[in-house]
Amino acid sequence: MRKLLLNSTAIATVAALTASAAVADVSISAASEFKYKSRSSAIASYDGTTYANTSEIAFKFSNKTDSGLTVGYVAEMISDGGAIAIDESSISIAGGFGKVVLGNNDGVGEYGIAAVDLIAEESSSNVLSSTIQTNSDISQGNADATKIAYHLPAMGGFTGGMSHTDSGQTSGTDTTTYGASYTMDAGGNTITIGGASTTTEASTTDTDSQNLGIKIVTGNLSVIVSNGTLQKVDEDISTSGISASYKLANGITLGAYTVSSDDNLDAGEKYDASGIEAQYTIAAGLTAVVNMNSYNYKVGTNADTDMSSVSDDGLSTSLTIKAAF
């Protein structure tokens, strides 16, 4: 009888603990894309056609505590050309105070707006320069390096935050990023203003980058105008861009963009690119994108120009098949 009572008590205790334990919500999503690309370049070794494949699978866990906090964990695996790696891995804690993200994930630079944000497959020109900018986004501080990020709760269309990456070394470089965006309604049109500013500290000259953009959505038409800057040793680069996209009734979205970048400290160094694309939704979760881009890069004449830079111009076309699950 005693043994039966103990067993019954143990079963009841386990059942009670199981009933009171929080059960996390789990979601799994995946995406994969296959690209065929043809390129014509002033550099003969760049001419030709290529295949590329990129895939990603994301595991997301979310749990609500008794105190009202939402605790989350995300892990994303990415395969680019066959190599598999953990792309993002972080935990988050959210509540009335906002949201804190700890680990390898994007920084608050995501609040900034770049012209190519409307383009599904932006230009991949691979110009031979490590100095010139090819879009108007911030240049550092937003990658998936280990960081602490804080996001403000949304307040009447306004939100923002700060993220910090610690190098972990006395002589290393830390990166601090601030970002914010504001969305408003103007006569049935949606207007969003977003920007980001980031600084990477150095023992001599810091690296500073800023972005500011505006996005206007009116019906099926979206337009972005943006500008980005980069200042560091021997570099003072300004990049501007504009893009537009329009959703047709037949499931096709047309897009176009242009980007221009020049370095005030490297006389004559300049990058220009423009492109058009068409996205077609074949079925739910299956999309085809046809893209055509032209680009032109000119090496500057100053001595501080990156010596590995090579002038180039060309045209690239691509067909990308995307699947989302």
- State the Cα–Cα distance between residues 96 and 52, nearest whole angstrom: 43
Which pLDDT band holds residue 64 (cuts at 50, 70, 90)?
very high
- Is residue 48 exposed (0-12), middle (13-18) or buried (19+ Cβ within 10 Å)? exposed
**Average pLDDT over every residue of 3-21:** 39
Please enumerate in sequence order all residues whose Cβ is within 8 A of that of 83, keeping only pairs 6 or more positions apart, or say none: none
Residue among 176, 142, 179 nearest 160 (CA): 179
In single-letter form, the type of residue at position 53 comes to N
Which pLDDT band holds residue 216 (cuts at 50, 70, 90)?
very high
**pLDDT surpasses 80 at 125:** no
In single-letter form, the type of residue at position 62 comes to S
pLDDT value for 285: 92
Mean pLDDT, the chain, integer: 85
How many other β-carbons are positioned within 10 Å of the β-carbon of residue 129?
23
- Is residue 130 exposed (0-12), middle (13-18) or buried (19+ Cβ within 10 Å)? exposed
Say how many CA atoms lie within 13 Å of 158 toward its Cβ: 2
CATH homologous superfamily, domain 40-324: Porin (2.40.160.10)
Instruction: Sketch the domain layout of the chain as residue ranges.
Output: 40-324
Percent of the chain with pLDDT over 90: 56
In single-letter form, the type of residue at position 96 comes to G
CA 305 remoteness from chain centre: 28
Residue among 70, 142, 63 nearest 104 (CA): 142
pLDDT value for 22: 54
- State the Cα–Cα distance between residues 59 and 119, nearest whole angstrom: 26
Beta partners for 215? 192, 224
Is the Cα torsion angle 133, 260, 120, 216 positive or negative in sign?
positive
In the numeric block, which tokens belong to residue 14? 């386990």
In single-letter form, the type of residue at position 14 comes to V
> Of the ranges 9-13, 100-104, 269-273, 290-294, which one carries the lowest mean pLDDT score?
9-13
Percent of the chain with pLDDT over 70: 86
DSSP string, 150-178: EEPPPBTTEEEEEEEE--SSTTS--EEEE
